[in-house]
Structure 1
Amino acid sequence: MNPSRETLDKKLIELETVSGVREYEIQSKLKNLRSPDLEEDPCQEWIYEVLAFSFSENYTDQKTGWGTYFGPMSIVPTDDGKIVESPSIQRVDEKVIAYWSERYKLTNNPLLQARYAGLVWDLSEKATGKKPDYSAAVIYCEALLKIAECKIHKYEVDIIEKLERALFIATSINNQNLIEKSKEEILDYESLVAEDSKPGLWGFSFDLLVNNKKVNLSEAKEKEIIDTLEARLQRLKDSDPWDCEEAAERLGRYYRRKGLKEECSRIIKTLGDSFETAANNVEPLAAFSLLEHIHKVYIKFDLIDDAERIRKTMRSLEPKVRDNMTPIYHEMEIDREQLKAYIEQILDGNLEQSLARIVIDYIPSHEQIKNQLYKVAKQYPIPFLITKNITDDQGRKISEVGSLENDLDGNIVFQMCQNMTVSMIFLSTVLEQAIKKFSLDSEGIINYLFHSPVFASEQRNILLKGIQAYLEEDYIIAVHLLIPQIEAAIRNLVQMSNGVVLKSARGGGFHLKALDELLRSEQVKQSLGEDIALYLRVILTDQRGWNVRNNVCHGIFQQHLFSKSLTERLIHILLILAQLRLNNHSSSTS
């Protein structure tokens, strides 16, 4: 066999003295027993041993995990949309559990014992349907505590994680002796490893013990933990504000929970001073980020006056933030012959056929953008792991887009905007050529639009002037006239589809619903489809997108933003609405 049971047993004897390693290093030592030159099958026990040290601890991804503490080390998606787990829980059966049960009773090494017993306690019921013996939990907990006591794991942060697990196991089986041992080991270990500049190595006593009803923490011990955090806050307040926050945030929550409002305010103001001092010594963009963060903290802890003061400072920084940004340019080449062929294809046939193709060709597909994101993220994952801040022309942050995993919708909106920036060249060209080929003037375009019932007769003259302004390249006038008429058409659509366009106003009476509310209505989604409803929101009302309706109506659009490309997107929206017709079977549109 390759390796034989004899070879494995010798290695297991060696591993009894192993220390200062992580579990995957033990797995490597076991894997090295197998010679690549021999095709013989290994002994079954070797397979069980390698499997034992292949699992990942504290597995938190519930989408790909099994609802257990241990999970697969890796998840690999396949081309058919499935995933391959390594290792898979399907490999764990009664024989495997029985082997691990025997091993945790035989070994004296806490690292090995914790892994065997932990797997038996955690996976037995999931894998075999049978509950594990109570003794597995006791031995598992004791082994975890021994790892911390003897400091035999490679990294302190891993030992902290094992202490957290030990306390969880002790409380879950309600073993008071183990709970007390876990509490004492947690306090002792933090006292041993804590360093001010390494926030990951302190504060866990507070996290695990304070306000934990399952732990009998004396008032003296609780005061000792709080006093230690207070002292650390004072040492950190003049250094890194992020390290300072690790102490302040815990103390703030503690005092607020105790109803000590003044103490809570004192702590958060100390933290605020740290962030504001740091902001005074960095570039405007970094300063704005620091102030934005402490503003959120002030709001969280109800320090409204301080939050207002920070907002004023942030506002004064916005022009400097804008000037501090570095533009990124991207060039693309367009083959003239290919563009010519594309235009001929789009404009083949009569006016109605051509405009219908333009409508369809420039409606972004939600599903295609999602697939595009996943494809790009697979090649370039880093940009999709971080939060992107969106600022306006004045440097003011107006929104943010989270990681792809946590904010798929935001990333779709963000990517749609980027795609529209590229496609606007082609949209502009086909619109110009359509106008030229069919000799379109404002009357001709209006006549086409008014085939749709969503445009009311009283809108005609305003739309006529708006389209005429577009044709005369007066985009400021065009945008200001066309946006309200698009909103009115959407409102007409909702009404004609038996939707509600009014809502109660304060003091009596009614308001018309805002455009964003209308675009999220079922009537719009059913009449136009999800893709078009999203497209319209991105252009008109979504702060993560262009948001032109709100920016124009609130007077915060800069003159240079009233562009040809923007106006052409509004023309495209009008052409979309022009496709709607009355459904003969009801008063709704389709």
Structure 2
Amino acid sequence: MISEEINKARIALKSPSEAENLGGWAEALGFALFPSKSNTSPWSTYFGPMATSVDAEGNSHYHPDIGGTPAEVLDHWAMRATSLKHPVLRARYADLAWDLAYAIGRRRRDLIAARTAIDNYLESASERFRSERYHQYDAVDRALDLAIQIKDEGRIDAARVAYMTLHRQDMQQGGNLWWRAVDRLLDEKKANLTEDEQEELIRDLEALVNQSSDPSATKFDPYVTENAARRLIKVYSRGHRSADVRRLHEAVAKAYERFADAHPPMLAAALLQTSMDAYERAGLTEDSKRVRVEMQRQIGESKSDMKPITSEILIQNDDLEKFLTGVIDEDLGSTFAKLAIEFLPKRKILEADVKETAKEAPLMAHISQKIMSDDRVAAIIGSVKDDLFGRLFQQAKFSFSFSHIWLLAAFQRLAERHDVLPEHFVGWANRHGIFEDMGLLLQGVRAWFEGDYVKAVHVLVPQIEGGVRSIAGQLGKPVTKAHPKIKGASVAINMGDILYSDEIVKKLGDDVAFYLLALYADPRGLNLRNQLAHGQLRLTSINDHTARLLIHTLLVLGLWKEFAESFAQTQAQSVEEKL
């Protein structure tokens, strides 16, 4: 990096004068700062630190930091902007002097510095001075920003013309940065885009859609079709051109459908999802249904492409024994309570684990994931940044899986320490009277005792849903809703209705509500209730651990009021602290 080389030269100076030291620091700082349009600079400037670290006390440290930088550095940059000849360097120094005038020297910005920066950014936006096209666009983009900032109409026009020049070159050469001018100029009202220029950009987008959506053409690329169409749809939607909007959605749908033909089932299924959605937006319902059928077929065939991923986790006997000693008490009721609490995933801990995993595997944290069912995409989980809640389900599934050996050992020790019967579990689950009839509940627990896990799961899951519904009733929520087809009739609310209710979550608590949602009622989690209700729970998914998770739920239900009261107290304490 330039700043590193400058620092090496600065350090190599023998007995430098104060002026040399200051000049060396000004040069190193000027090239260590990182330009960014995302407004992430802690100083509210265009140039910011390359990195930020946080110490154990929570204090932020910037690298580099402009704190303590003498104002004379600004004078040094201004001098360099006028004394040098290379436009890239002149633009950099002038922009530094303009951008950081107040942050470093508490000075008013000098318009001459901004004008110098603009003019040199524009002069440098060619292969002669910036070999990479995206760097040329960056220079023009910054010039336009500065021109708009100082309200210089002449320089705004010059920057816009430079943008259009780069765009025309890209279109002629088949470059992949055609979107830069489109995104900036069509969306920037202050760029003074002329009607002719707007029409040119629209024509170019239409040309891209036509070229990239033709499977017989060498430039066939559904991703380009989609990206160009999306920008056109935005323009046409503003102009209420609904026919053109539908035409473009159809073009995207056909491009992805044709593209899927040439790919293996797993990728084809994902491509067809985009095609199906685009047909739906185009109002072509029958085509959407047709593609859905094909997508379901491809998903079914993709099963053979999937390979299991396993990992080994070693647990020391001493650690296991220490854990069991802590949760298995002499008192059965106390043991039930400890087991309920210990194996209840805590939402804050799940969030912390997700964020920590994102640090360790940043690439995976940015990639969205699709959860495949037998013949469909059951759910989509976005990136950690965009879909933290969705990632919690993924982490909860890992928690449920990881708890296998610990929960097994805990129940084995429970049986050794206490002479437990099915009636003990059923009685505990109904501590707060959420089951009017405990007959089926007892049958389900007895089936678990006898190792009949298929019966246990099929009996207990509906009973647990009924218990959750009863809790909703005790919390004052209606437990029925209007029948979707029969006027005047009602049906019982389901677990999803209950657990997606903000009102219920606020009363029941984040931990219990999310636990039940992840285990029973959300496709991003284990989704046991929905899988069972719709006949999609496979025999291979019903095992001893699945049944133990249900028994643990009964222990949680027996404490639901205590969990709710604890959550309410925590929330009240949080409010008091804020006040």
Q: TM-score range by the shorter chain?
A: 0.7 to 0.9
Does residue 311 in structure 1 map to residue 292 in structure 2? yes
Q: Which amino acid aligns with 1:417?
A: K
**Most deviating of 225-234 and 464-473:** 225-234
Per-residue deviation, 1:429: 2.7
**Most deviating of 74-83 and 177-186:** 74-83
Compared CA separation, residues 34 and 45, structure 1 to 2 (3 A): closer
Find the counterpart in structure 2 of residue 411 from structure 1: 391
Does the CA contact (< 8 Å) of 2:208 and 2:224 recur in 1?
Answer: no
Q: Which amino acid aligns with 1:554?
A: H
Compared CA separation, residues 97 and 65, structure 1 to 2 (3 A): same
Per-residue deviation, 1:340: 4.9
Find the counterpart in structure 1 of residue 120 from structure 2: 143
Which among 123, 132, 141 is matched to residue 109 of structure 2? 132
Per-residue deviation, 1:545: 0.8
Does residue 106 in structure 1 map to residue 79 in structure 2? no
SS of structure 2 residue aligned to 1:400: strand
Does the CA contact (< 8 Å) of 1:494 and 1:523 recur in 2?
Answer: no
| RMSD (Å) for aligned C-alpha atoms | 3.2
Find the counterpart in structure 1 of residue 576 from structure 2: none
Distance 2:458 2:551 in 1: 13
**Most deviating of 307-316 and 568-577:** 307-316
Compared CA separation, residues 213 and 342, structure 1 to 2 (3 A): closer
Does the CA contact (< 8 Å) of 1:113 and 1:140 recur in 2?
Answer: yes
Find the counterpart in structure 1 of residue 575 from structure 2: none
Distance 1:420 1:505 in 2: 35
Compared CA separation, residues 477 and 247, structure 1 to 2 (3 A): same
**Most deviating of 411-420 and 516-525:** 516-525
Q: Which amino acid aligns with 1:169?
A: L
Find the counterpart in structure 1 of residue 182 from structure 2: 206
Compared CA separation, residues 514 and 65, structure 1 to 2 (3 A): farther
Per-residue deviation, 1:249: 2.8
Does the CA contact (< 8 Å) of 1:581 and 1:589 recur in 2?
Answer: no
Find the counterpart in structure 1 of residue 525 from structure 2: 545
Q: Which amino acid aligns with 2:137?
A: I
Q: Which amino acid aligns with 1:72?
A: P
Find the counterpart in structure 2 of residue 362 from structure 1: 343
Distance 1:526 1:520 in 2: 11
Compared CA separation, residues 460 and 160, structure 1 to 2 (3 A): same
Q: Which amino acid aligns with 1:210?
A: L
Does residue 165 in structure 1 map to residue 150 in structure 2? no
Distance 1:195 1:349 in 2: 81
Find the counterpart in structure 2 of residue 470 from structure 1: 448
Does the CA contact (< 8 Å) of 2:324 and 2:410 recur in 1?
Answer: yes
Structure 2 residues not aligned, in runs of 5+: 571-579
Find the counterpart in structure 1 of residue 151 from structure 2: 174
Find the counterpart in structure 2 of residue 234 from structure 1: 210
Distance 1:106 1:60 in 2: 31
How far does the alpha carbon of each residue in 1:24-49 deviate from its partner, in whole angstroms, 9 at most, with x for none? x4434423322459686861122112
Does residue 262 in structure 1 map to residue 239 in structure 2? no
Does the CA contact (< 8 Å) of 2:250 and 2:282 recur in 1?
Answer: no
State percent identity of aligned pairs: 26
Does the CA contact (< 8 Å) of 1:275 and 1:291 recur in 2?
Answer: yes
Find the counterpart in structure 1 of residue 50 from structure 2: 73
Find the counterpart in structure 2 of residue 516 from structure 1: 496
Find the counterpart in structure 2 of residue 453 from structure 1: 432
Q: Which amino acid aligns with 1:431?
A: F
How far does the alpha carbon of each residue in 1:283-342 deviate from its partner, in whole angstroms, 9 at most, with x for none? 111111222233344455655554333322212212112222111122334455654554
SS of structure 1 residue aligned to 2:403: helix
Does residue 421 in structure 1 map to residue 401 in structure 2? yes
Per-residue deviation, 1:177: 1.1
Find the counterpart in structure 1 of residue 22 from structure 2: 44
Does the CA contact (< 8 Å) of 1:148 and 1:163 recur in 2?
Answer: yes
SS of structure 2 residue aligned to 1:181: helix
Distance 1:114 1:502 in 2: 68
Q: TM-score, normalised to structure 2's length?
A: 0.86
Does the CA contact (< 8 Å) of 1:197 and 1:243 recur in 2?
Answer: no
Distance 2:178 2:171 in 1: 5
SS of structure 2 residue aligned to 1:148: coil
Does residue 492 in structure 1 map to residue 473 in structure 2? no
Distance 1:541 1:91 in 2: 56
Does the CA contact (< 8 Å) of 1:363 and 1:532 recur in 2?
Answer: yes
Distance 2:233 2:424 in 1: 66
Does the CA contact (< 8 Å) of 2:33 and 2:64 recur in 1?
Answer: yes
Distance 2:466 2:389 in 1: 27
Distance 2:416 2:46 in 1: 67
Q: Which amino acid aligns with 1:453?
A: H
Does the CA contact (< 8 Å) of 1:121 and 1:132 recur in 2?
Answer: yes
How far does the alpha carbon of each residue in 1:483-520 deviate from its partner, in whole angstroms, 9 at most, with x for none? 23223323333333445545566645665443234335
Does residue 573 in structure 1 map to residue 545 in structure 2? no
Find the counterpart in structure 2 of residue 536 from structure 1: 516
Q: Which amino acid aligns with 1:473?
A: G
Per-residue deviation, 1:136: 2.8
Distance 2:71 2:211 in 1: 54
Q: Which amino acid aligns with 2:208?
A: R
Compared CA separation, residues 443 and 39, structure 1 to 2 (3 A): farther
Compared CA separation, residues 513 and 166, structure 1 to 2 (3 A): farther
Find the counterpart in structure 2 of residue 115 from structure 1: 92
Find the counterpart in structure 1 of residue 359 from structure 2: 378
Does the CA contact (< 8 Å) of 2:426 and 2:554 recur in 1?
Answer: no
Does the CA contact (< 8 Å) of 2:39 and 2:45 recur in 1?
Answer: no
Q: Which amino acid aligns with 1:447?
A: G
Does residue 183 in structure 1 map to residue 160 in structure 2? yes
Distance 2:416 2:154 in 1: 87
Distance 2:232 2:536 in 1: 41
Q: Which amino acid aligns with 1:207?
A: D
Distance 2:283 2:67 in 1: 50
Find the counterpart in structure 2 of residue 432 from structure 1: 412
Does the CA contact (< 8 Å) of 2:246 and 2:281 recur in 1?
Answer: no
Q: Which amino acid aligns with 2:255?
A: S
How far does the alpha carbon of each residue in 1:422-469 deviate from its partner, in whole angstroms, 9 at most, with x for none? 21122123223323432322223223333x11433x231121111112
Compared CA separation, residues 230 and 374, structure 1 to 2 (3 A): closer
Does residue 85 in structure 1 map to residue 62 in structure 2? yes
Find the counterpart in structure 1 of residue 574 from structure 2: none
Does the CA contact (< 8 Å) of 1:279 and 1:288 recur in 2?
Answer: yes
Does the CA contact (< 8 Å) of 1:275 and 1:294 recur in 2?
Answer: yes
Compared CA separation, residues 555 and 114, structure 1 to 2 (3 A): same
Q: Which amino acid aligns with 1:242?
A: Y
Q: Which amino acid aligns with 2:516?
A: L
Per-residue deviation, 1:208: 2.5
Does the CA contact (< 8 Å) of 2:249 and 2:279 recur in 1?
Answer: yes
SS of structure 2 residue aligned to 1:85: strand
How far does the alpha carbon of each residue in 1:62-85 deviate from its partner, in whole angstroms, 9 at most, with x for none? 4x6444332221223434444322
Q: Which amino acid aligns with 2:405?
A: I
**Most deviating of 167-176 and 179-188:** 167-176
Per-residue deviation, 1:279: 0.9
Q: TM-score, normalised to structure 1's length?
A: 0.84
> How many equivalent residue pairs?
558
Does the CA contact (< 8 Å) of 1:104 and 1:113 recur in 2?
Answer: yes
Q: Which amino acid aligns with 2:462?
A: P
SS of structure 1 residue aligned to 2:295: helix
Structure 1 residues not aligned, in runs of 5+: 1-24
Per-residue deviation, 1:405: 2.5
Distance 2:37 2:56 in 1: 25
Distance 2:445 2:417 in 1: 18
Q: Which amino acid aligns with 1:134?
A: L
SS of structure 2 residue aligned to 1:84: strand
SS of structure 2 residue aligned to 1:34: helix
Distance 1:514 1:58 in 2: 48
Does the CA contact (< 8 Å) of 2:365 and 2:384 recur in 1?
Answer: yes
